[in-house]
């Protein structure tokens, strides 16, 4: 049996080692490698880069530039299911796939339409809070050249090895999915899944046409 005194010494040594490791940049980087802020920082960096080239790219060029990052950053499948609500389970698999694809296209087209220039804006992460049991809320702001901030909060969930966005709160309080669900419910009640697919495609087309 190991004497108690030696165990205490061993415990103190391990604690000291862990303290030293936690203080090293390499360990801190490893800890943050899958952190939610990594996802948001990557998104913001791509948005800024695209904004700075906005006029040269045009709306379709901005769409093409943003599509890979947004597809990797958002959990589009989960967001589509939540936005549709209970009706999702009544959709045929091909209808579910078509809604998800059209929703993704419309969402990316919305980014391409809105982020159409650069005037010295900066992106900041203000705070990260827990949303039990497993989610995180990443509170960000876009600071305009006049100093006025615009709050955009991201609800994030660990999906495999990566944190992904599952909802966006515009002005810090308005849930994008709640707004979409009300819109989708109205369309579904009037015309069913095919009407929703057609509506999402039409919205995407309009955004990408520049009108």
Query: Which tens digit of pLDDT belongs to each residue from 48-105?
Result: 999 999 999 999 999 999 999 999 999 999 999 999 999 999 999 999 999 999 999 9
Domain carrying residue 85: 32-209
Give the CATH number of the domain where residue 145 resides.
3.10.450.710
Measured in degrees and rounded to the nearest 5, phi and psi for residue 109 equal -65, -35
Please tell me the distance from the alpha carbon of residue 100 to that of residue 178, in angstroms, as a whole number: 17
Contacts of residue 86, Cβ cutoff 8 Å, sequence gap at least 6? none
On whether residue 16 sits in a domain, the answer given is no
Span 160-197, pLDDT tens digits = 889 999 999 998 889 999 999 999 999 999 999 999 99
Query: Is the pLDDT score of 32 beyond 70?
Result: no
On whether residue 18 sits in a domain, the answer given is no
On whether residue 107 sits in a domain, the answer given is yes
On whether residue 23 sits in a domain, the answer given is no
Please tell me the distance from the alpha carbon of residue 183 to that of residue 15, in angstroms, as a whole number: 55
On whether residue 80 sits in a domain, the answer given is yes
On whether residue 56 sits in a domain, the answer given is yes
* Residue 131 pLDDT: 94
The tally of domains found in the chain comes to: 1
Give start and end residues of each alpha helix (H) in the chain. 4-23, 25-32, 36-52, 54-73, 76-84, 93-114, 176-209
Strands 135-143 and 174-175, how do they pair? unpaired
């Amino acid at each position: 049996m190991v004497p108690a005194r030696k165990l205490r010494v061993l415990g103190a040594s391990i604690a000291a080692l862990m303290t030293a490791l936690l203080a090293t940049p390499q360990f801190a980087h490893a800890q943050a490698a899958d952190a939610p802020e990594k996802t948001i920082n990557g998104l913001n960096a791509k948005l800024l880069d695209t904004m700075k080239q906005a006029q040269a790219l045009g709306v379709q060029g901005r769409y093409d530039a943003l599509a890979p990052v947004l597809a990797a950053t958002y959990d589009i499948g989960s967001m589509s299911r939540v936005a549709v609500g209970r009706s999702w389970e009544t959709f045929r698999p091909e209808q579910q796939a078509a809604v998800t694809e059209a929703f993704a296209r419309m969402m990316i087209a919305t980014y391409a339409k809105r982020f159409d220039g650069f005037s010295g804006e900066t992106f900041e992460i203000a705070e990260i809070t827990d949303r039990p049991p497993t989610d995180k809320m990443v509170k960000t702001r876009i600071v305009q050249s006049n100093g006025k901030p615009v709050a955009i909060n991201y609800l994030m969930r660990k999906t495999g090895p990566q944190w992904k966005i599952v909802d966006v709160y515009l002005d810090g309080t308005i849930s994008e999915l709640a707004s979409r669900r009300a819109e989708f419910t109205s369309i579904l009640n009037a015309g069913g899944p095919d009407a929703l697919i057609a509506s999402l495609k039409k919205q995407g087309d309009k955004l990408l046409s520049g009108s």
